[in-house]
Amino acid sequence: MKQAIWKVDPFGDFSFRGTHSEQMTLGLGFSDYSPLINALQMRFQERGWVSIQDILDYVMSDETDFHSTQVKNNALKWLEEKELIEINPDTRNRVKTYPDGTMIRFV
């Protein structure tokens, strides 16, 4: 549902009021993923290694206003560039990719 809402207006002419933020503007102009990044850090910081599927399940739940396709490109890549996550090298072949089975640790 969240993904469909984000798709409805690709130009950001209206807003979606989520349950975990005051207001989130929809559309291509929306580039502040800090609420998603902060939510991921708060949720998984103390948990050790977590799977990409656990992260996606959390984002798809009613606990966030974001959808799963925003996680990899808009949150995890940024976190990896800033060295705020560690990726188990045995669980992926290419840097900044997060295929099924990827194990991630928030540092």
Q: ∠15-73-6 over CA atoms, to 5°?
A: 20
Q: For the segment 9-64, what is each residue's pLDDT rounded down to a tens digit?
A: 544 444 555 555 554 544 444 467 899 999 999 999 999 999 999 999 999 998 88
**pTM for this one?**
0.74
Indicate the number of domains in the chain: 1
pLDDT at 80: 97
Question: Which domain, by its residues, includes 43?
Answer: 31-106
Is 60 inside any structural domain?
yes
C-alpha 17/C-alpha 105 separation (Å) is 31
Within a domain: residue 59?
yes
**pLDDT-derived band at 79, boundaries 50, 70, 90:** very high
For the stretch 81-104, pLDDT in tens is 999 999 999 999 999 999 999 999
pLDDT at position 8 over 50: yes
Supply the CATH number for residue 101's domain. Answer: 1.10.10
Assigned domain for 54 exists: yes
CA angle, corner 32, sides to 57 and 69, nearest 5? 30
Q: How far apart are CA 96 and CA 81, in angstroms?
A: 8
Residue 102 belongs to a domain: yes
CA 29 from centre of chain: 17
